[in-house]
Amino acid sequence: MNITIAGVGAMGSRFALMLHRAGHKVTLVDGWKEHVTAIQKDGLQANLNGEEVVAKLPIYLQSEVDPTLSNDLIILFTKAMQLEAMLADIQPLIHDNTAVLCLLNGIGHEEVIEKYVPRNQIMIGNTMWTAGMEEPGRAKLFGNGSIALKNLVADPKAEQAAYKVIETLNSAGLNAQYTENILYAIYKKACVNGTMNSLCTLLLANMADFGDTTPAHNIVVKIVSEFAEVAKHENVDLNVTETVDYIEKNCYNRDTIGLHYPSMYQDLNEHNRLTEIDYINGAIARKGQQYGVDTPYCALITELVHCKEQLLGAK
Ligand code: NAD
C-alpha cells in the first residue's frame, strides 16, 4: 500500500517504521523543520524494543507536499491542535480513493477532518500503542499495543475499505481490530486521558502517587461522570463505575504503568509544549455547554492547564 504518515512525531514514527518494515511504501509529512531536516540527512532512527533501526524514508515539510504522490492511506498523527493546519496543507494528497485514518487522542476530531475529507473516506479510532521522541529524527518505541477503528459512515464500501486498512496495519503487526462501538472506545480512552493526563500534569505526580491520595477516587468519579453525561447525548453509554474501575486497576499499578508520568505531563512540564487539553476535558466542557450538561470539573481542569501553559510560556 502507498501510505502517507501526516505528523511524524513519536507515534507517526512508530507506525512509519513498522509499516515500512512490513514492505509498504511509506512517505512522511511533518511540520517540525529540525526533525524533517534530520530525517532527510540521516533517515528516521529509533530504538525499537532495544533494536537500533534506521529507515531512509522520503519526507516533506507539510507546506511543501508533492501533489503527485499517490496515496491509498493517510494516517493522521499530529497533536490535536495541529490537526487542522496539517489537513489544510495535505489537501492535495487526498484523492478519491484515499482512506484517511485518525488515531489521535481526544474527542470530536471527525468534525475537523470532514471539512477536508469526504465523510465516506474517514476512519476514526484509537490506539494503545505508545511512543516517545528522543531528539529530532529519533524515536524510542517500546512495548506492544493495539488499534480499534471503524469507518465514520455506515456504508458497505466504507466498511470494506476499513477492513482493508486493518489488514494492512496487521501485516505490520500493529494489532488492529474493527470495532463496532468505536465512539465508546474513544470516550473510554478520553476518560483515562481526562483524568490521568490532566491531573498528573497539574499535580506533578505519576499516576500511582496520585492514586494514593485520599481525594483521588472522588475526583476521578466526578470527571468520568461528566464524560458519561456528555456521551449520553451522543448515544454512547459509558458506565461510570466500570470506567473508574478500569482506570484505577490499570493506571495505579506500580508493577506495570503506575510509575509513568503521562505524555501531557512530559509535553508541558518537561518540554514546555502546549497540551491537547482542549480536545479532552475541554471538549467535554464545550459539548456540555452545547447539551446543557454541567461540567464543572472538566471546565476548571481545562482552565488550570491553560494557566499552567501560560505561566510556563509553553509553545
Ligand atoms: P508528538 O508530539 O510526538 O508529535 C506530534 C507532532 O508534533 C509531530 O508533527 C511532531 O513532529 C511534532 N513535534 C514533536 N516534538 C516537537 C518539538 N519538540 N517541537 C516541535 N514539534 C514537535 O505526538 P505523539 O506522541 O506522536 O502523539 C500524536 C497523537 O497520538 C496525539 O493525539 C497523542 O495524544 C496520541 N497518542 C500518543 C501516544 C504516545 O504514546 N505518544 C499514545 C497514544 C496516542
- Angstrom CA distances, 133 to 6, 138, 173, 237, stand at 16, 6, 21, 35
- Position 228 scores a pLDDT of 98
CB distance 70 to 99 below 8 Å? no
Q: How far apart are CA 220 and CA 131, in angstroms?
A: 25
Q: Is the pLDDT of residue 247 over 90?
A: yes
> Of the listed 79, 150, 188, 189, which one is catalytic?
189
What pLDDT digit, counting tens, does each position of 92-144 carry?
999 999 999 999 999 999 999 999 999 999 999 999 999 999 999 999 999 99
pLDDT-derived band at 197, boundaries 50, 70, 90: very high
Ligand 1 centre and the CA of 133: distance in Å? 8
Q: Are 92 and 67 in contact (CB under 8 A)?
A: yes
Q: pLDDT tens-digit profile of 255-290? A: 999 999 999 999 999 999 999 999 999 999 999 999
Residues with CB under 6 A from ligand 1: 7-12, 30-32, 35, 77-80, 82, 104-105, 127, 130-131, 133, 263, 271, 276
CB atoms within 10 A of CB 26: 27
Residue 315 falls in the annotated catalytic set: no
pLDDT band at 205 (very low <50, low <70, confident <90, very high): very high
* Of 205, 235, 241, the residue nearest 220 (C-alpha): 241
What's the confidence (pLDDT) of residue 70?
Answer: 87
Map out the domains of the chain with their CATH numbers: 1-176 (3.40.50.720), 180-310 (1.10.1040.10)
The whole-number average pLDDT for the span 3-19 is 98
- How many CA atoms does the CB half-sphere of 110 hold within 13 Å? 17
Q: How far is the CA of 29 from the centre of ligand 1 (A)?
A: 13
| Mean pLDDT, residues 308-315 | 98
Q: What is the mean pLDDT of residues 87-93?
A: 97
Cell output for 315: 509553545
| Top mutation candidate among 77, 192, 267, 272 for ligand 1, by most atoms within 8 Å of CB | 77
Name, in order, each residue with C-beta under 8 angstroms of 118's C-beta and a sequence gap of 6 or more: none
Stretch 28-39: mean pLDDT? 98
Ligand 1 pocket mutation pick from 133, 141, 193 by most atoms within 8 angstroms of CB: 133
Tell me the pLDDT of the chain averaged across its residues.
Answer: 97
pLDDT at position 227: 98
Tell me: the pLDDT tens digits for 142-159?
A: 999 999 999 999 999 999
Per-residue model confidence as pLDDT tens digits over 50-72: 999 999 999 999 999 999 998 99
Q: Which residue matches cell numbers 532495544?
A: 50
| Class of residue 108 by CB neighbours under 10 A (exposed 0-12, middle 13-18, buried 19+) | middle
Question: What is the pLDDT averaged over residues 289-314?
Answer: 98
- Dihedral sign for Cα atoms in the order 137, 140, 144, 150: negative
pTM of the model: 0.97
Q: Which atom of ligand 1 is nearest to the CA of 11?
A: 26
- CB count in 10 Å sphere of residue 84: 15
215 CA distance to ligand 1 middle (Å) = 31
Which residue's CA lies nearest to atom 19 of ligand 1? 32
Q: Is 61 helix (H, G, I), strand (E, B) or coil?
A: strand
Q: Percent of the chain having pLDDT more than 90?
A: 99
Best of 128, 263, 271, 274 for a ligand 1 pocket test (most atoms within 8 Å of beta carbon): 263
Q: What separation in Å is there between the alpha carbon of 294 and the centre of ligand 1?
A: 31
Q: What is the DSSP letter of 269?
A: I
Query: Which residue type occupies 213?
Result: T
Q: How far apart are CA 137 and CA 123, in angstroms?
A: 28
